[in-house]
Amino acid sequence: METVKEMFGSNVFDDRVMKANLPAKVYASLKKTIDEGTELDSSVANAVAEAMKEWAIAKGATHFTHWFQPLTGVTAEKHDSFISPSPDGGVIMEFSGKELIKGEPDASSFPSGGIRATFEARGYTAWDPTSYAFVKGKTLCIPTAFCSYGGEALDKKTPLLRSMAALNKQALRILKLFGNSDVKCVRTSVGPEQEYFLITKEMYDKRPDIRFTGRTLFGCKPPKGQEMDDHYFGVIKPKVAEFMEDLNEELWKLGILAKTEHNEVAPAQHELAPIYTTTNIATDHNQLMMEMMQKIASKHGLVCLLHEKPFAGVNGSGKHNNWSMATDTGINLLSPGDTPHENVQFLTFLCAVIKAVDEYQDLLRISVATAGNDHRLGANEAPPAVVSIFLGDELTAILEAIETDTPYSGTVRTKMKLGVDVLPQFNRDTTDRNRTSPFAFTGNKFEFRMLGSSNSISCANIMLNSAVAEVLKGFADELEVADDFTAALHGIIRKTIKDHKHILFNGNGYDASWIGEATEKRGLLNYRTTPDCMPHLLDKKNADMLKGLGVFTQTELDSRVDIMLENYCKTVIIEANTMVDMAGTAITPAVAEYTHKLADSIIAKKAACGSVACAYESSAMKTLSELTDAIAVSTASLEAKIADVKAIDDVIEQSYAIRDELIPAMDALRALVDSAETKTAKAYWPYPSYADMLFSVK
């Protein structure tokens, strides 16, 4: 058997393979592009393509694909074989530099939000040499960006790379002011912790709601849920352990640093966290990880649910985006250092993040907004929809001391003068205790916890990188022309703390009183739903920032609002349609049948014994008859609402109608059906119950 060391990255065209298989000059040129973000020298493409092809064929590949991330949220691939006819009637295996660099998939069936009319079907994919190619199955996959023919981004990778470039540029300006002339590049790194549910394929097949929408649309709570807290970090069941083992191997072969796995809070819920890496690679890897989870689960007779909220009343699944910035020389810019110099630099970057998160709260909220995630945020299982920052008491006290120029009363009782004193050592262990904060400092990185489990991490990181880049730009503009650097920096840091401390909150984010305090006293934003927040992407402040940094064009922004809202509307309408179908074709008939059975039973009992009371049957029959009628009325009303909503042309108006009319109608129908479920004999209920599903995997 292969060892993990041998297995790791064996399906990746990584640095080791490139070094071994590319001519030295070609390798050096490509490496420069990867390490320093310099433009690719197109003359090396042919040599790289040839080496890639030979390597992939040796791995059993017959096809290649430009692997990309359209705005559907999942990945896309169109396979072409390497074969090319040879004059002797046979074939040769070919793959040119041109084919490596650029592909022209028919783009007309991917969402574009009006950027590209369907008659202009051409789009193109462009190789991202900073993310390694890999072999998956029999296909060489080349990570690519996906653009319209006019160059507008139609994917999630292009703006992410642009945001990384923007942050790199601005962070380098700051580092230069601190005298770090050896740093060539600053990259953001991400380690996304991924949550998911596993249920058996057998259960899945019996639930049309999960099959069509990824979540249950009906279902009363199980008698045992997560109350006992006995699942979190509990012993992993044999079937799940087998799945995890297989998954790890597949991920390792793809060079994904799968590291930590454990059971999560809810029954059937688990988590997998990789070791962090550069953001665009972490994003590619997270997409691959989600794909592999689903693929491997099906090999084990299981289904992996990545929906944010598959089961009402049971914790949903999120994704924690651990984020930091690091130099190519290995310095984590969010790690407090040991020297005064390092500390001031750390404080500068820390303050930049605080200001960025405060000024662009709305963009962070928008970056995680989907119909599915709306069920989680603020539901006392995930952070609220209000963005705030947790720093921990010690670091907060240090910032306060700096702001007010008073002695820090922690371990070091001296006044803190920036640039002179060493930051008092604070206990890093105390920074990671608060699990309720949407944006928490955890010692040397921030953990953005609002993402839903099925979200691509791309959007969150685009916004985060851009917002921080914008703030660093402001700092650099001011500092570059300052006569006294230290004084100017001190001024900036104090002002930042003063202006933005209202977003610092170390308390319990699940506490009901927090929302009142956050919105009324502190003036923080609280966008509860996707329709509430999404249009704000186009607010002047946001659009100016994103355009100014070159992350998005106006057309791209317009199209994204359209696409995200369209996606929201379609998702909920499909859910509503599924409910109508389930209620009409299976649930109402089942309840009616059971009611009939009860009536028969009363007749039979009375015939046999005369004056028996039949109290149970009578009362159940009455309740269920009433519920059946109510369900029928409610289903009809939902159907009418669907028609109303569908008739609305404007997507923003449509999303509001869905939020205000359709979702309440869905909730009303669900409440009736769930109530009927608790009173109907299990043998008559057409679907597996929550308990059946949540405890299905042994």
Residues of this chain that bind ligand ADP (CB under 6 A)? 189-191, 193, 273-276, 322-324, 332, 432, 442, 444-445
Q: How far is the CB of 273 from Mg ion (least distance, A)?
A: 7
Judged by beta carbon, residue 275 or residue 681, the one nearer Mg ion is 275
553-562 long-range contacts (CB < 8 A, ≥24 apart) are 553/152, 555/115, 555/152, 556/115, 556/152, 556/153, 556/159, 558/113, 558/114, 559/112, 559/113, 559/114, 559/115, 559/152, 560/71, 560/113, 561/113, 561/534, 561/535, 561/537, 562/113, 562/114, 562/651
Residue whose CB is less far from Mg ion, 286 or 466: 286
Q: State both tokens at 11.
A: 């399906």
Residue 319 binds which of Mg ion, ligand ADP, none (CB < 5-8 A, kind-dependent): none
| Cβ closest to ligand ADP, residue 258 vs residue 534 | 258
Residue 383 interacts with, from ligand ADP, Mg ion, none (CB under 5-8 Å by kind): none
Report the residue number, 274 or 384, with the smaller CB distance to ligand ADP: 274
Continuous segment of H or E residues that includes residue 694: helix 690-694
CB of 320 or CB of 490, closer to Mg ion: 320
Instruction: From the list Mg ion, ligand ADP, none, pick the one residue 276 interacts with, judged by a Cβ distance below 5 to 8 Å according to partner type.
Output: ligand ADP
Evaluate the CA torsion angle 690, 694, 697, 698 in order and state its sign.
negative
Stretch of 215-223, 260-268, 313-321, 356-364 lying at the interface with Mg ion (CB under 5 A): 313-321
Quote the least distance from Cβ 72 to ligand ADP, whole Å. Answer: 26
Q: Which of 25, 433 has the CB closer to ligand ADP? A: 433
Question: What DSSP assignment string belongs to 458-482?
Answer: HHHHHHHHHHHHHHHHHHHHHHHT-
Sign of CA dihedral 622, 623, 628, 633: positive
Residue nearest to ligand ADP (CB): 191
Residue 546 CB, shortest distance to ligand ADP, in Å, is: 23
Residue 73 to residue 76: CA distance in whole angstroms: 9
Give which of Mg ion, ligand ADP, none residue 444 binds (C-beta under 5 to 8 Å, depending on kind): ligand ADP
Shortest approach of Mg ion to residue 441 CB, angstroms? 12
Least distance from C-beta 318 to ligand ADP, angstroms? 12
Query: Minimum CB separation from Mg ion for residue 282, in Å?
Result: 14
Strands 91-93 and 186-200: unpaired
Instruction: Give the interface size with Mg ion as a residue count (CB under 5 A).
Output: 1
CA–CA dist 304, 294 (Å, integer): 5
Q: Nearer to ligand ADP by C-beta: 220 or 293?
A: 293
CB of 502 to ligand ADP, least distance (A): 26
User: Whole-number minimum distance, CB 442 to Mg ion, in Å?
Assistant: 7
Cβ-closest position to Mg ion: 320
Q: How far is the CB of 354 from ligand ADP (least distance, A)?
A: 17
Closest CA to 441 of 488, 487, 505, 512: 505
Task: Compute the distance between CA of residue 379 and CA of residue 373 in angstroms, rounded to an integer.
Answer: 10
Q: By CB neighbour count within 10 A (0-12 exposed, 13-18 middle, 19+ buried), where does 636 fall? A: middle
**Interacting partner of 346 out of Mg ion, ligand ADP, none (Cβ under 5 to 8 A depending on kind):** none
| 578-587 as b/e: b if 16+ CB within 10 A | bbbbbbeeeb
- Of 315-374, binders to Mg ion (CB under 5 A) are 320
Contact 673, 583 (CB under 8 A): yes
CB-nearer residue toward ligand ADP: 191 or 214 = 191
In this complex, which beta carbon is closest to ligand ADP, that of residue 62 or of residue 444? 444
Measured in degrees and rounded to the nearest 5, phi and psi for residue 325 equal -125, 135
CB of 573 to ligand ADP, least distance (A): 36
Judged by DSSP in three states, 361 sits in helix
> Which of ligand ADP, Mg ion, none lies near 645, with the C-beta cut-off 5 to 8 A by kind?
none
Nearer to ligand ADP, 332 or 675 (CB): 332
Question: Which residues lie near Mg ion (CB under 5 A)?
Answer: 320
